[in-house]
Structure 1
Amino acid sequence: MEDTCQPVLNTGLRGVTIASTKISDVNGAEGKLVYRGYLVKDLAGKISFEEVVYLLLFERLPNSQELVDIKKQIAEQRTVPDEILTAMKSMPKDALPMDVLQAAVPMLATVDPDIRKTDVDSAGRMAIRLIAKFPTIVAAWDRLRNGKEPVAPDPNLGQAANFLYMLSGEKPDDELAGFMDAALVLHAEHSFNASTFAAREVASTKAHMYAAVAAGVGSLSGPLHGGANTRVMQMLLDIGDVDKVDDYIANILDSGGVIMGLGHAVYQVDDPRAHILAPMSQTLGKRAGDTRWYDLSKALEVKGKAAFKERKGSDIFVNVDFYSASLYYYMGIAVDLFTPIFAISRIAGWTAHVIEEQYGGAAAKPTLYRPESDYVGDYCGPDECAFVPLKDR
């Protein structure tokens, strides 16, 4: 007889609503991503990352003076303290960039003048400092591990252009900076994804901003979350040529594998961000005189979708990582920096969520996240285990 008393578990919290938010929404059925009421497809390429920062932190788009002010605040906070750069110089040169970034976050906490304050204004200032310093840390580490001195941030450049400048030492042209800016806008927020939930869970304990953000960075470092576009680019490099796409797809599907960049936990249609990034990748390929990485991506998308439909009888859709990989690669960015760039953008969303969790949730919820679990450790049958002293074991 079937036991109907067993609890039903929602593995991974899929489909479980755990809190309310005013920050963003993902409509997977319709392929819509919304930042505080605005469709992201209406923002990317039209407003700067700094405007999105203002929108996420302060709940509305800035006017002209407010934009000047937020840009100034971010520019003034980009410099990383010397003691943190000194600590980074002592790290092994083969350390993973995401580990270096995560290690830097609590170090930044030790020098933040607001760290012991618990008001919302202090949290906002901490958010601005983190948003400002993330690109500096990532760029500095890339140069340090390659035997170069870090490039000091330029206060006259926007966030996207400044990051590219600190990486290479050369100021990017407007098109290149604009593409990076659009990519940052597209990755800035995505509702209760794994890293955002990790940050909010820590924030629910009333831990400070840096502790919550460090958790978000740690979550993002996992290959099932933030590492997808890195694996997309590794896939493209492994294939190498459009003529090899058919064989690659057949081999992957025959072995039960997945085509990186196809499929998403939420979207049941193409990720709207992918269609904004794709033409940027194509444009940079043409600029470089080598469109093979874009061409490979496009062939993989078209043929991968068709093969999946034929074999599985269902559709699969492209996600944001599929074209961001080749876009960053055309920019000359090291493949293992793709996930840190994700963090450089998503820090805007994380900090907005930490502030909302601690100071202004859209609806009342218990202060502390404390889920239940179903204990299945039936070690001694229906009874508790009898303790046996060490000498008798």
Structure 2
Amino acid sequence: MTDPAAAPEGRLTTRQAAELLGVKPATVYAYVSRGLLASRREPTGRGSTFDAAEVSALARRTRREAATPPGELTVRTGLTLIEADRYWFRGVDAVALASRHRYEEVAEWLWTGRLPRGARFTAPPELLAAARRAVAALPEHSGPVDRLRVATAAAAAADPLRFDLSPEAVLGTARSLIPTLVEALPAAGQEHRGEGRLARRLWTRLTALPPDTDPVGALDLALALLTDHDLAASTLAVRVAASAHAHPYACVSAGLGALDGPLHGAAGPLAHRMLLEVMERGGAAPVVADHLRSGRRVPGLGHRLYAGEDPRATALFARLADLPQAGPALAAARDVVAVTARQGRGLHANVDLALSVLTVSYGMPVEAGETVFAVARTAGWIAHVLEEYGERPLRMRPSGQYVGPRPPQPLP
């Protein structure tokens, strides 16, 4: 097959594309068959052409991947940067953004790079009905991640368009899935069906106390602060699923599965229980001593990415300090930090401790922090899904280092 003498404006011939990519023309068509490039047959019938911008983007990706040391997986992302005890969403200070904008607006910023004022998420009736039926069928002792995972699967089954992976479709899924997850949870207080800010609707799933403006604002801040945090274990699981072009519901399910592990999602309930015990015993010293004596870590302290205090905790503590009802739990949290500091352990408060002040202060169940974290992080997972769909499919396929017996071995 020969190239036409010239390609239409903004298009490249097969030969031009091969030169830009540094490969043979036959390899260009191999890229087409693998879904890495889209070709267009020209009306003259003399060959195919390729979008110049798409070829250039693939060339840049290929050069970056070639420069990666063998065996090392790197994940390029333009979403969250963590550096010098601060973190940024798309280059904007994340704490400042979360302090000034609602969770829905922060989610839109991560998804699209735009900040629409007054963004609202609405649960479609068909998806919500399916999710509620599935959640209602679970045993009463089911945990929040159990409910969210089942609600996600039920919503996926009710959505015939779930396999549409175009950016517009994925955004539509995100804006409907998050409120579906919230409203599928059993109500603890007066329901707010499909209206108002998401934090207000989530509040009624976590506590029977009235959704007053200031505490709901603190919950909204927590959601916005927790939206994304680079490549945590659950986020990496999401990107692996997205790399295989699983639909967004399946990708979120992968994140929820990783979050359910004791090393990722269990910190919130542990910190909640510890604060209750500190308040009951009148001080943190005996509680901290019990944890250390039994060889357990003191929950809510330290973060591998921050040398000082977790900036999410700093922001949430500051908001909670303005709420009189949060006073006792906030004092208990500060006592925990002070006691461990006297022992020279050098650990600072993290967001799990700050979130536990909120959950303890307003009579929420011990798993409430886990629920808040999962709902908040769903927006970040979707942002990573959108990024990963734009990468080379199935790129997250490391090679195993075989350590078993060398073949041939006799049959057992």
Class of the TM-score when normalised by the shorter of the 2 chains:
0.7 to 0.9
1:265 deviates by 2.5
Match of 2:410 in 1: 386
Equivalent position of 1:331 in the other structure? 362
Contact persistence 2:134–2:154 (CA under 8 A)? no
Structure 2 CA distance for partners of 1:218 and 1:205, relative to 1, 3 Å: same
Contact conserved, 2:308 with 2:348, CA < 8 A, in 1? Answer: yes
Q: Which residue of 1 aligns with 2:171?
A: 124
Question: How far does residue 31 in structure 1 lie from its aligned partner after superposition?
Answer: 0.7
Displacement of 1:171 in angstroms is 5.4
Query: Could you tell me how far apart the structure 2 residues matched to 1:346 and 1:87 are?
Result: 22
In the alignment, is residue 54 of structure 1 matched against residue 108 of structure 2?
yes
Shift of 1:260: 0.5
Match for residue 344 of structure 1? 375
Structure 1 stretch displaced more, 325-334 or 161-170: 161-170
Per the normalisation by structure 1, the TM-score is 0.80
Return the match for 1:370 from 381, 384, 397. 397
Equivalent position amino acid for 2:174 in 1:
A
| 3-state SS in 2 of match to 1:240 | helix
Q: Distance in 1 between matches of 2:366 and 2:393?
A: 41
Please give the root-mean-square deviation of Cα atoms over the aligned residues, in Å: 2.4
Amino acid in the other structure paired with 1:341: V
Is the alpha carbon distance of 1:169 and 1:329 closer, same or farther for their aligned partners in structure 2, counting shifts above 3 Å?
A: closer
Give the superposition deviation at 1:210: 0.6
Q: Name the stretch that deviates more: 85-94 or 50-59.
A: 85-94
1:302 aligns with 2:309: no
Q: How has the CA–CA distance of structure 1 residues 254 and 126 changed in structure 2, closer, same or farther, with 3 Å as cutoff?
A: same
Task: Report the CA distance between 1:101 and its aligned residue.
Answer: 1.0
The amino acid that maps onto 1:330 is S
For the pair 1:316 / 2:347, whether they are aligned, the reply is yes
The residue number in structure 2 matching 1:5 is none
Deviation at 1:79, TM superposition (A): 7.6
Give how far 1:201 is off. Answer: 0.6
CA deviations on 1:337-361 (whole Å, 9 max, x unpaired) are: 22111111111100010011003x5
The separation in 1 between residues aligned to 2:383 and 2:287, in whole angstroms, is 41
Equivalent residue number for residue 173 of structure 1: 212
Equivalent-residue separation in structure 1 for 2:132 and 2:257 (angstroms): 20
CA distance, structure 2, for counterparts of residue 86 and residue 133 of structure 1: 12
User: Which string of whole-angstrom CA distances, capped at 9 and with x for unpartnered residues, describes residues 2-36 of structure 1?
Assistant: xxxxxxxxxxxxxx662100111112xx1111111
Q: Which residue in the other structure is 1:83 paired with?
A: 130
Shift of 1:168: 5.2
- From the superposition, tell whether residues 24 and 79 of structure 1 become closer, same or farther in structure 2 (CA, over 3 Å): farther
Unaligned runs of 5+ in 2: 1-71
Task: Tell me if the contact between 1:152 and 1:166 (Cα under 8 Å) persists in the aligned partners.
Answer: no
Q: Under a length normalisation based on structure 2, what TM-score does the superposition of the two structures give? A: 0.76
Unaligned runs of 5+ in 1: 1-15, 310-314, 389-393
Task: Go from structure 1 to structure 2 and tell me whether the alpha carbon gap of 1:326 and 1:222 turns closer, same or farther (over 3 Å shift).
Answer: same
Could you tell me which amino acid in structure 2 is paired with residue 56 of structure 1?
Answer: L
Aligned twin of 1:227? 266
2:82 is aligned with what amino acid? V
- 1:294 shift after superposition: 1.6
Deviation at residue 280 of structure 1 after TM alignment: 3.3
| Identity, % of aligned positions | 29
Give secondary structure in 2 for the equivalent of 1:280: helix
1:22 to 58, 78, 83: 78
Count residues in correspondence.
341
Superposed displacement of residue 244, structure 1: 4.1
Q: Rate the CA distance shift 1:111–1:127 in 2: closer, same or farther, 3 A.
A: same
User: How far, CA to CA, are the matches of 1:336 and 1:202 in structure 2?
Assistant: 26
Does the residue aligned with 2:311 lie in a helix, a strand or coil?
Answer: coil
Aligned position for 1:151: 191
Structure 1 residues 83-122: aligned runs within 5 Å: 83-122=130-169
Q: Does 1:287 align with 2:343?
A: no
Give deviations 1:55-80, integer Å, cap 9, x for gaps: 01101323xxxx34x32xx1364885
Larger mean CA deviation between 120-129 and 250-259 belongs to 250-259
Larger relative CO (CA 8 A, sep 6+): 1 or 2?
A: 1
2: CA distance between counterparts of 1:248 and 1:170? Answer: 28
